[in-house]
Amino acid sequence: MSGPLPRRWLGPGDLNGFLGLLVDNLSIMAFIATALVGVFGVPGEIVYGRMFPGTALGVLLGNLAYTAMARRLGRREGRDDVTAMPLGLDAPTSIGIALLVLGPAFLGYRQAGLDPQAAGLATWRLGMAALVVMGILKCVLSFFGGWVQRHVPRAGLLGSIAGIALVLMGFLPLLEILKVPVVGFTGLGVVLYALVARGPLPWRLPGVLAAFLVAVALYYTLGPAGWLGSGYHVPGPWQWRFALPLPTLQWVAGLPATVPYLPLLLPFGLLMVVGGINVTESARAAGDNYRTRDILLVEALATLVAGFCGGVAQTTPYIGQPSYKAMGARTGYTLLVGLVVGLGGMLGYLSNLVELLPLPVLAPILVFVAIGINTQAFEATPSRHWPAVVLAFFPAIARMLTIKLSDPAYVSPEHVAALVADFTHGIPELAVIVALGNGFIITSMLWASAMVAMIDGRSGRAALILLLGSVLTVFGVIHSVELSGGIYLPWQLASTARAEVVQFAGGYLALALVLLVLSLQRGRMDPTPPAG
């Protein structure tokens, strides 16, 4: 069936959809800025003037393309109720890039003797290169996403991203919320009341907007009166930071620096492809039949162009398309968000909004999204595989502890290095935490996949997965013994570090051999766990 092009650009729910999607993107950009500028000390002009414009360009291009795809789908099917796929910055990986790649890299450049400006530029080049690497991977995997989805169990995929959500976009933003609890905790409570408990709000306000208005009112009413203590910061003067995100080859200089971070970057790209498949299926179930490959390729190309133009955070189609459809959003909300975010990155008002709206005001939406991702990980996974989802959380917790250990505001890098290298009583506990946290996404996927195979009575498959884990451990792809998490050739390590690698790799190998022996038993294991 075909029909005329839908005439309406704005449906009755497009304003609600616009506000929800805009606040999502602002929250993530606020966290990136807070982490890089406030925690790691990256110069603000680098973050706002170089990283933000290209990052916002990816949001603009992706949303324009998704708007056009929705209009085309409506014309093809003769419908006026098609809802565009929402696109924005991916929260877990954007926060992960800031905390696990860009921030530590900046500190490394500073320790190497670079001044803040030079270190910031080097960090920016690394961020661009990392985004290009993930964009290329996503372009390739767009054609093989179905194969990945068939061979990696859902518990491994969703468990690993749920672990990221739990600690990076749940727990760490919660700390920011509780730094100004009168504002942040109240805003979080309104979000949970409206979006989780689905409580009624005056004038049918959207939950995100209501929480935002309450938090802003508290912050700018109580703050100037001195009732928020040091939690209130006077916003700086409005600045027009005009910066066009023009294509540049400076990312090429950052490519060599991406090598130590490949165990993070490659899973980040893989997760977005599988997530794109899932959200397309979700939209199809809601009545909008998009082609999966088109959704994936558009998002991958938006990420790639953003990287070429200075961006440092990847975009993704959001899981909430049926929710936007239920609130009446059509195609106007993605168009508006793309224009507001894209132009805001170029004209500078986006950075002013981020500075004007502190993280305790914006972070509640991140915590809500983290709760949703973790809930979905269990809802979309067979109940017998839930232990595998939980198992996937532990490496992410170790990575969070490593982030805090790496913060020079608490512990000097020299002191941490000395503690990690002290093998007088076996492998030090801090060395175990560091090794467990390094390459944590791949570790989570391997652990959960092996657990799923055991639950399903496929001990031989579990053994093969563990053998792969042993090989990856040898080269530092997972459980890297270096504080930076870099990969290496094991024979180039110091003797104590090499001994640690042997221990970790040997653990995987020993369990794999035991499971291989068990797989030789006649008959299959009963996949039903005993009662008790």
What confidence tens digit (pLDDT) does each residue in 406-456 have?
666 666 666 666 666 666 566 788 888 889 998 888 899 899 999 999 999
- Clarify whether residues 348 and 473 are in a common domain: no
For residue 267, give the 3-state DSSP assignment: helix
**Segment (H or E) for 29:** helix 14-33
Please indicate, yes or no, if residue 270 is contained in any of the structural domains.
Answer: yes
Query: Of the candidates 284, 297, 290, 289, which has an alpha carbon nearest to the alpha carbon of residue 142?
Result: 297
Q: Angle, nearest 10°, between helix axes 440-455 and 429-437?
A: 80
| Residue 529 in this model has a pLDDT that exceeds 70 | no
279 near 321, Cβ under 8 Å? yes
Q: How many CB atoms lie within 10 A of CB 473?
A: 27
Please indicate, yes or no, if residue 396 is contained in any of the structural domains.
Answer: yes
| Residue 530 pLDDT level (bands cut at 50, 70, 90) | very low
Tokens of 285: 């179930």
Q: Which of 360, 394, 427 is the last residue of a domain?
A: 360
Altogether, the residues listed in the chain come to a count of 532
pLDDT in tens, 153-187: 878 877 887 888 888 878 988 998 999 999 999 99
- Clarify whether residues 347 and 392 are in a common domain: no
- Clarify whether residues 186 and 301 are in a common domain: yes
145 near 276, Cβ under 8 Å? yes
- Clarify whether residues 348 and 394 are in a common domain: no
What whole-number percentage of the chain has pLDDT above 90? 42
The number of CA neighbours under 13 Å toward the Cβ of 129 is: 21
170 near 364, Cβ under 8 Å? no
Which domain does 489 fall in, by range? 384-517
Quote the CA–CA distance of 66 and 179 in Å, as a whole number: 38
Please indicate, yes or no, if residue 195 is contained in any of the structural domains.
Answer: no
- Clarify whether residues 402 and 314 are in a common domain: no
Please indicate, yes or no, if residue 8 is contained in any of the structural domains.
Answer: no
DSSP letter at 398? Answer: H
Quote the CA–CA distance of 160 and 452 in Å, as a whole number: 13
For residue 235, give the 3-state DSSP assignment: coil
Distances 428 to 350, 459, 507 between C-alpha atoms, Å: 45, 32, 16
Quote the CA–CA distance of 51 and 118 in Å, as a whole number: 15
Please indicate, yes or no, if residue 112 is contained in any of the structural domains.
Answer: yes
Q: How many CB atoms lie within 10 A of CB 454?
A: 20
What whole-number percentage of the chain has pLDDT above 70? 91
pLDDT in tens, 353-404: 888 888 888 888 888 878 887 887 898 889 999 999 999 999 999 988 888 7
Please indicate, yes or no, if residue 212 is contained in any of the structural domains.
Answer: no
**Segment (H or E) for 339:** helix 332-347
| pTM (2 d.p.) | 0.80
Per the structure, the count of domains in the chain is 2
| Residue 149 pLDDT level (bands cut at 50, 70, 90) | low
Q: Between residues 23 and 390, which one has the greater pLDDT?
A: 390
Across the chain, which distance is largest between two alpha carbons, in Å?
Answer: 76
Quote the CA–CA distance of 104 and 504 in Å, as a whole number: 25
Please indicate, yes or no, if residue 372 is contained in any of the structural domains.
Answer: no
Quote the CA–CA distance of 422 and 532 in Å, as a whole number: 42
DSSP E strands, 447-527: none
Tokens of 175: 């700390």
Quote the CA–CA distance of 271 and 277 in Å, as a whole number: 10
- Clarify whether residues 438 and 398 are in a common domain: yes
Tokens of 121: 């530029």
Q: What pLDDT is stored for residue 93 in this prediction?
A: 84
Phi-psi region of 342 (alpha: psi -120 to 50; beta: other; left: phi over 0): alpha
- Clarify whether residues 354 and 394 are in a common domain: no
Q: For 503-512, what is the mean pLDDT? A: 95
- Clarify whether residues 165 and 69 are in a common domain: yes
- Clarify whether residues 435 and 475 are in a common domain: yes
373 near 92, Cβ under 8 Å? yes
- Clarify whether residues 133 and 270 are in a common domain: yes
The number of CA neighbours under 13 Å toward the Cβ of 444 is: 32
Please indicate, yes or no, if residue 370 is contained in any of the structural domains.
Answer: no
Quote the CA–CA distance of 175 and 222 in Å, as a whole number: 20
Q: Which of 328, 360, 392 is the last residue of a domain?
A: 360
Q: For 467-493, what is the mean pLDDT? A: 88
One-letter identity of residue 319:
I
- Clarify whether residues 390 and 286 are in a common domain: no
- Clarify whether residues 316 and 451 are in a common domain: no
